[in-house]
């Protein structure tokens, strides 16, 4: 299979979103970013690369959405940023410091929080115990951080003694997000937070993401619900075959004819098929 070369120079006829996805524009736009990834190559098995020269950056205070077809490398990018898979080439930089492939507990101390798509709570533990697990590195701050999380998710305080295994999918997602917030992260990585939830709880998740962001946490969100994601994010990335295809504001991507034709229609159809 022949690889599609990543564009190295601006080409005639490129849209603004295509131009911003080129390595040259990424290098220019990512200057001073809170978190950036440059020319990332990463994968799960030797010799098999899922990310193939992927670029990304996040500014302080932003919500950035990552969309794209299945297998594009969206979740893999989050795992590479959080040190869960090895970075074979390129770099990940947080506040000017390289953190490529640093262990997760080091990244948590540096201000990164991560919420995986599945198996993201301890079902045999209570809500309170799950949140305690989130701040095991700083147990003396539990009361303070619990109060902060309870403001964002009042239900967690009301039901703190209930076991997580007895909760609905939407409620479990709140627990997972709350636990990640216990360490007071500056950056929160969310892997498909609305996946498998009812439409009501999907809307609730996106509302909570806005509130978390308003509280001072920058957010990177991978989502299959592409349109809803782009509605709330400041900027978005469209990944395809492990590389950037388009990047622009969420609003501009929603109205980009190429993005609509190649991705949004397909992703919307995929979402419809998943609904009961």
pLDDT: which is higher, 187 or 195: 187
Q: Average model confidence (pLDDT) for the chain?
A: 91
> What pLDDT was estimated at residue 28?
97
Q: Which residues of 166-195 are buried (b: 16+ CB within 10 A; e: fewer)?
A: ebeebbbbbbbbbbbbbbebbbbbbbbbbb
Residue 2 Cα distances to 5, 21, 23, 68, 260, angstroms: 9, 21, 20, 20, 26
In the chain, what percentage of residues exceed pLDDT 70?
A: 91
Segment holding 67, helix H or strand E: strand 63-67
Instruction: Give bridge partners of residue 93 from the DSSP assignment.
Output: 36, 98
> What pLDDT was estimated at residue 158?
96
- 221 closest CA partner among 243, 199, 189, 246: 189
- Model confidence at 276: pLDDT above 60: no
- 106 closest CA partner among 84, 124, 74: 84
> What pLDDT was estimated at residue 261?
87
What tens digit of pLDDT does each residue of 204-258 get? 999 999 999 999 999 999 998 999 999 999 999 999 999 999 999 999 999 999 9
How is the chain split into domains, by residue range?
16-274
Question: In 110-259, where do the E strands start and end?
Answer: 112-115, 187-191, 218-222, 235-240, 243-249
- Model confidence at 21: pLDDT above 60: yes
Domain covering 16-274: architecture? 3-Layer(aba) Sandwich (3.40)
């Amino acid at each position: 299979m022949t690889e599609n070369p990543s564009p190295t120079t601006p080409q005639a006829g490129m849209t603004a979103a295509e131009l911003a996805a080129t390595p040259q524009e990424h290098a220019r736009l990512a200057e001073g970013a809170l978190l950036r990834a440059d020319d990332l190559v990463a994968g799960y098995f030797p010799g098999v690369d899922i990310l193939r020269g992927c670029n990304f950056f996040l500014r302080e205070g932003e919500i950035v959405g990552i969309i794209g077809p299945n297998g594009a490398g969206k979740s893999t990018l989050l795992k590479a940023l959080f040190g869960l898979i090895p970075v074979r080439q390129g770099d990940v930089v947080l506040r000017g410091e390289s953190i490529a492939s640093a262990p997760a507990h080091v990244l948590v101390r540096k201000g990164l929080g991560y919420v995986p798509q599945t198996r993201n709570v301890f079902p045999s533990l209570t809500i309170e115990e799950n949140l305690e697990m989130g701040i095991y590195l700083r147990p003396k701050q539990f009361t303070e951080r619990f109060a902060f999380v309870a403001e964002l998710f009042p239900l967690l305080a009301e039901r703190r003694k209930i076991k997580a295994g007895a909760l609905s999918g939407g409620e479990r997602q709140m627990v997972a997000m709350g636990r990640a917030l216990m360490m007071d992260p500056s950056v929160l990585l969310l892997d498909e937070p609305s996946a498998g939830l009812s439409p009501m709880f999907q809307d609730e998740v996106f509302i909570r993401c806005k509130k978390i962001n308003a509280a001072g946490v920058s957010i990177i969100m991978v989502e299959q619900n592409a349109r809803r994601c782009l509605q709330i994010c400041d900027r978005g990335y469209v990944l395809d075959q492990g590389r950037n295809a388009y990047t622009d504001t969420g609003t501009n991507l929603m109205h980009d004819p190429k993005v609509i034709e190649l991705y949004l229609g397909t992703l919307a159809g995929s979402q419809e098929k998943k609904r009961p």
